[in-house]
Homo-oligomer: A and B are copies of this chain.
Amino acid sequence: MGAFADPGRITRAGLRLHPARRDGRKLLPDLDAAIRACGLRDGATISFHHHLRNGDAVLNQVMDAVARAGLRDITVAASALFAVHAPLIEHIRSGVVTGLAASTIYGPLAVAVSHGILARPVLMYTHGGRARSVESGDLSIDVAFVAAPVADSYGNLNGTHGRAACGPLGYAVTDAHGAERVVAVTDTIVPYPAVPIEIGQDWVDFVVPVASIGDPSLIVSGTTRATADPVALGIAETAARVIAASGLLTDGFSFQTGAGGASLAAAAYLGTIMAERGVVGSFAAGGITAGIVRMFDAGLFRALMDVQAFDIDAVDSFRRSAAHQSMSASMYANPHNRGCVVNRIDASILGAAEIDRTFNVNVTTGTDGIILGGSGGHADTAAGASLTLITTQLVARSHAKVVDDVTTVTTPGETVDVLVTDGGVAVNPRHPELADRLRAAGIPLVGIDDLAAEARRRAGGPARPRAADGRIVAVVEYRDGTVIDMVPAA
């Protein structure tokens, strides 16, 4: 039906829950007690969010407790999984975990999944698609575990304070509103009430204290540092010029970029142009980074719409700025609510592992077929933004990145508008008026077929043909719940 199909009237699933007794207590001594109190059983689905990113210590502690409880056949539905979650491999080998779902998977677990460690394919959704899935009932969560930087004993939570403060709890909000049982795991219990409350006591069944929910210094992952590479900086500057020439860069401009190095550099260039022109934007959305906070603090945006802080500067900004607004995963990117924030983005700059001649983008697998990430908000933002730019070098580590066919389709080409590379800028033929604007602004354009040919030439050989068969190890679900691609075993 395409990326912009109208689903018509829909019905969200009913919610099973266990009302609190008036005198009921929620504070439990440990995770083992929480697992018993939730009545967790073999075959259940449990969920996690990734606000602590590669610093998260909650998932591993919970899974160890699940294993101690002798449970089997558990599905782990995470918003994202990082290198720190490699211990899941052992839980998969032992049969504790037999199902996995995540919008991105990084590190050793991604490699193990790619090689077929699981009998059932992994479900890879988008951030917005995951929210849709929880709300529709497609993803039925028995117990959501929420890593809470601060909690009180009756289940009010926030990420504003605490030793592992992570800022907005946008992904956790959606889980807490959709799970039958919600367990808050915290290392900082404060006196009731834990204001400012991000997730209220009316959504939390139990509170469990642990020694540490994680290492806040590792919220910043490698993907959130700006680039210093001159080629990448050239691409970033061109991307900013494309936006400046698009006609969108006027007062009220709204912007999102991923956490990739080139995207962050492009944001910096864009900020310079905005300051020169005196443009005041309405909001930047995301995943918020230090670079975006600097633009906000400089008055280049009136507000930040934040589902997740990507670094400590963003956490600090969230704590001190009333116009640094949290949003749930659903509000951020779910196509099946009354209007998500990505719909309001003027320009978005996103990265690519590969992009093909119909502008389909792969951020799910490498050319070797190994999972190296996943959509996260990539497909959501591309679909929502008026102007979606993909920035990439033509070649990386002797692999062409502009190709005839992407190894895996993460984001459909119909939602991508411009490709900016070190070999030139290509505009999706769906947008001839945009091409005219860019040419008029002195930005030379090339055809994407030419970029693919140049990439093939520089890479020194034809692209490796995509694996045509083999057991499926991952199903890539588009934000609307349809299957957009599948990943065969590497």
A interface residues (Cβ-Cβ under 8 A, vs B):
4, 6-24, 26, 154-155, 182, 191-193, 195-197, 200-205, 252, 282-283, 302-303, 305, 322-323, 325, 327-328, 330-331, 334-341, 343-344, 383-384
Contacts and interface: CB of A to CB of B under 8 A. Distances in A.
Contact of A339 (B10, B197, B201): B201
8 contacts: A4-B21, A6-B19, A13-B14, A154-B343, A191-B302, A193-B303, A201-B339, A202-B328
A278 to B, nearest CB: 16
A341 B201 contact: yes
Nearest to A3: B22
Nearest to A280: B191
Contact of A202 (B15, B154, B205, B339): B339
A343 to B, nearest CB: 5
B6 A11 contact: no
Number of copies: 2
Contacts of A17: 9-12, 337-338
Contacts of A328: 200, 202
A374 B113 CA distance: 60
Residue among A155, A205, A339, A340 having the largest count of chain B Cβ atoms under 10 Å: A339
Q: A-B pairs with the 5 shortest C-beta distances?
A: A20-B339, A202-B337, A12-B15, A202-B331, A19-B336
The secondary-structure label for the interface of chain A is: loop
Contacts of A334: 202
Contacts of A12: 14-17
A155 B339 CA distance: 9
B344 A202 contact: no
A21 B336 CA distance: 9
A200 B335 contact: no
A192 B7 CA distance: 26
Given A202-B339, A339-B201, A341-B201, A21 B9 contact: no
Given A19-B336, A195-B325, A201-B341, 9 more contacts: A9-B16, A12-B15, A17-B338, A22-B335, A192-B344, A196-B323, A200-B327, A201-B340, A203-B338
A338 B10 contact: no
Nearest to A385: B22
A195 to B, nearest CB: 5
Given A7-B19, A9-B18, A331-B202, A26 B339 contact: yes
Contact of A383 (B22, B335, B340, B343): B22
B325 A155 contact: no
A205 to B, nearest CB: 5
Contact of A335 (B16, B19, B302, B323): B19
Contact of A303 (B7, B195, B322): B195
A22 B337 CA distance: 11
A344 B337 CA distance: 33
Contacts of A15: 11-12
